[in-house]
Structures are given as structure tokens and as C-alpha cells.
Amino acid sequence: MRNLAGVAALTVIAKDAGTWATMSVWRSITTPQILRDLQPFSYPGRRRSGCQKRNVSQPFHESGLARYAVNFVTQSSKLVDVQLAAGFDINSTAQTGYSEGRRVMGTSLTVIRDDLNALIYAPPAASASSKFDISVNDGPTSTIDLRANNPAALTAITKGPLEAEILARIAPGLPGGVSVTCSLDEIDAGTGLRVLRITSATGNNLSVKIRRASSNDLAAALMLGIDQGGVESTRFANHRPVPTATYFRVMRTCWQNCFRQMSRMTLRR
């Protein structure tokens, strides 16, 4: 089974010499970076028939987790064994887990700063949008309150200092020993349009997961977290097998603008 880069990642072997099957790969609709199911099928007339669904919803290549695909499928399936493909190094080209908002801000860093201040600092404290819940590397969930962590409004108008100001309002709410980085990534070169990305900077850099806060929520306004339409990718997401489906592969150079730039007639075709 190959990943999107065409590299062989998994080898699936029938448990019995007389058994053969096909494999379906399913990914979560809300989090396509997460492998949801491996489904080995055998056919009527063979020694075993029907479908065996093996849910592998945890990060696919994280061997310390209970649903690590190699161990979980091998131990629970009556049809197949799964192993890493020969010569495949799961740590090769592994990426850093992150959560990225889908609210596009811009067209200048001054505008972005003012937009963030309008959400976090301009309203009265009771109605400000200043909080979100975060879990780093599947650790405990913490509520981040940017306004409480620093009551002063953002002031920077250049990229590095503004990113540092945002991070300085997030870091105090993280558990001890946990750290992240913040970046304002430009989605189309030269446009000044940017989105906020929060990236793990702890341990194996597995993941960052953001959810709505119970009050004064900022996640929805910035579209942070999958429930708000954001993008979250884990460390080994790029090594997971290609899904058995027709799907839209989101490329880094166009992101959500790919659909916006298509004409109505193109979509109808």
C-alpha cells in the first residue's frame, strides 16, 4: 500500500495461503489526514467471506498507541497481517503536527493585527472572543485565554514580532513542558492574505488539536480546529495509504482558493 508520494508504506499479507482479499482504505471525512478504517474483504466461495472493518482512528504510525495500524490490524483481523513495507522508514519526511485556521486575514499585517484586536480586546471582557481549547501531542486539553494572559492589545505590524506577540498570549495557558509555535502563513504569494497556524514544538511533534471554548470562544471566529472548518494534520499523516475513493487533494500552494478560482461551469463538469 502506497502513500500519496507513491512510496510503499504497508505490506498486507493473507494469514492463510488459501485466502485472498482486497483492501479498502477509508479516511475520516472531517479529518482526512487521519486514517479511519482498513477494511479487508474476502469473497464468497473462499475460505472466509464478508467484510472485516478494522477501525484505526488513532494516528496511523504512532506505535505507542493502542490502534497503531500494524499491531491492531494484525491482532484483530482473521484475514490479514499488516507490516511496514521493507525498507520503509516511518520517520523519513515525517511532518510536524499543526492546527491551521481557515479564516483568511489581511491584506496587510496591520489589518491582521487590527482584526485580531477587534475580536480579542475591543469588546467588553464579557463578550470578547479570546479563548480556545487546545491539546498538544494528544495530551490534556487546556483553555487558552489570550486576553487574560496579556490584557494589552497587540501592537506589532511586522510578521515576526506579531507572531511572537500572539505566541506570548498562548504560552502561559499551556501545560508545563508543552510548547508550540505560531505563524501567520500567506495562502497566496504576494496577496498578503494569511491564516494563523499553531504548530507543536514538543517531543515528537505529533499533533495540535483545537476546539471551541465553553465561553468567549475565539476558535469559531478564526475557524481554528476541524469542527470550525480548520485544517489539522498529524506527524505521520503524509505516510498513510492513499484512500480508496475519489477525493480532492488540497495542495499547499492553493488551499481553499482552488475551489474559489474554479468557474461554475468547471464544477458542473
Q: Yes or no: say if 128 and 212 are a contact pair by the CB < 8 Å rule.
A: no
Range of the domain at 84: 10-94
In a domain, residue 267? The reply is no
Same domain, 138 and 225: yes
9 beta partners: none
pLDDT digit string, tens, across residues 140-154: 999 999 999 999 999
Q: Which helix (H) or strand (E) holds 170?
A: helix 159-170
In a domain, residue 125? The reply is yes
Predicted pLDDT at 265: 47
Q: What are phi and psi of 195, to 5 degrees?
A: -130, 155
**pLDDT under 70 in the chain at which residues?**
18-67, 244-269
In a domain, residue 175? The reply is yes
pTM for this prediction = 0.75
Q: Domains in the chain: how many in total?
A: 2
In a domain, residue 269? The reply is no
Same domain, 105 and 231: yes
